[in-house]
Structure 1
């Protein structure tokens, strides 16, 4: 099951300064980590960007936040976008493969610090010192490259390089439609206050589908929800999400009806904070509310 979280490049449009923008992005990274998202994707919303904190800023801070602390000095030089990186809340990520455990067979990220002769490299993977490892024949590595290290013993150290995706949360920047079109996108959900209200009866069949196929959940930005970003009328979303009042939520099937506007690429629009008590639900708050609900299992 793959979980992808999509946020717009205009995510920090309301931030008064870089410090506030950095703090907001830290909460976004925390939410994605807490609910075991595999990918955190920044999609373009250039009409909503203020110019100060564009998609490059958002991506850089999120990628830094997702970098294991023991690699940050090696992986990142001093950059203007990271001026307030010190206020980012720690993720304390434990990947699904057990990358932070001490057990046999755990994996963790490393970074190549030196390429030597005889197909060997030195790798910093958060142990006391960089370790020397053989490079598998199918791999070609360069200094500064991120790698996956499988550790079978720490005392004495026994480890090897493996040709596997890096453990933990990955951050990237790509087009919204490209993200929704991935083969492993699963249930494609647009989070919006104009969507169908999420109820207990609605959640049960939806949770079963998510557990089987995974999900991709997209969010809007301050004062620019997904309808504004996509250039569609909110009234059309509300109408398409009202559904059939006579429908039985416990009826057989996957419980996911397509939206009336399939050109958006979403399977459904959901309001996961029905009857909200505040006029505005911030994006980072919506992430916690939405991912908490959709992480429940049938």
Structure 2
């Protein structure tokens, strides 16, 4: 089961300065981490972008935020986009495998610091010192490359390289259509105030679909929701609020590529629900099990 969260490149369009934009992105990354999303995808909304806080800025700050603290200096160095990285809230992501307090029996991100002879490399993976590891057959590594390290013991250190995806939340940039068209997209939900209201009955149906197939949830930007980003006319937007969206057999398909338009704050007390607030309000109920 894969959980993907989609946000537009115009996500920080209302930020007055780089500090505020960075803070906002930190809480987006934190919401995705809290609710165990596998992917956080930035899709283009160039018409909604303002100033220098474009998709490249958004993706860079999110990638930095999701980099383990012990790798940040080595992996990123000094970059203009990261001027205010110090205000990012800590994610404190739990280990994906294993539950020991010392992180033994878990997968960790590492970075190759030296490529040596005889298929061995030195890797910084947050232990006291970089460790020397064998490179699995068929795996080619370069200095500075990110790798997955399986740590089975910290005292003494026992670890090995794993030829697989990096653990933790991944940050990607792709267009909305491609993200919705992935084989593992699962149930595809558009979070919008114009969608069908989230109810207890509807949540039960969605929980079954999510646990079986996974889910992809897309969000809009400040003062520019998904209908505006997609260029939907007033008639199409009005139709979203009138359709039920869920029947006894599952979720009915709707254009353009979503299975359901869903309003997760049906009685909102503020004129505006910020994107980072919408993530928490939406992912919390959708994470409930049957």
TM range (shorter): over 0.9
SS of the equivalent of 2:41 reads strand
Q: In the alignment, which of 262, 265, 288 is matched to residue 273 of structure 1?
A: 265
Stretches of structure 2 lacking an aligned partner (at least 5 in a row) = none
Structure 2 distance, partners of 1:156, 1:102, is 12
Q: Name 1:207's counterpart in structure 2.
A: 207
What is the alpha-carbon root mean square deviation over aligned residues? 1.6
- Please give the residue correspondences for 1:1-298 in structure 2 after superposition, counting only pairs within 5 Å: 1-98=1-98, 101-102=101-102, 104-243=104-243, 251=248, 253-254=249-250, 256-259=251-254, 261=255, 264-298=256-290
| Alpha-carbon spacing, 1:104–1:64, altered in 2? closer, same or farther (3 Å) | closer
* Count of residues in correspondence between the two structures: 290
Structure 1 distance, partners of 2:95, 2:194, is 34
Measured after TM superposition, the shift of residue 244 of structure 1 is: 5.5
| Alpha-carbon spacing, 1:292–1:76, altered in 2? closer, same or farther (3 Å) | same
Cα-to-partner distance string for 1:240-280 (whole Å, 9 max, x where unaligned): 452359x8x6x4x22x1111x3xx11111000000110000
SS of the equivalent of 2:209 reads helix
TM-score w.r.t. length of structure 1: 0.94
Does the 8 Å CA contact 2:108/2:150 hold for their aligned counterparts? yes
Structure 2 distance, partners of 1:118, 1:100, is 33
| Alpha-carbon spacing, 1:275–1:14, altered in 2? closer, same or farther (3 Å) | same
Does the 8 Å CA contact 2:190/2:261 hold for their aligned counterparts? yes
Measured after TM superposition, the shift of residue 39 of structure 1 is: 0.3
Does the 8 Å CA contact 1:194/1:234 hold for their aligned counterparts? no
TM-score w.r.t. length of structure 2: 0.96
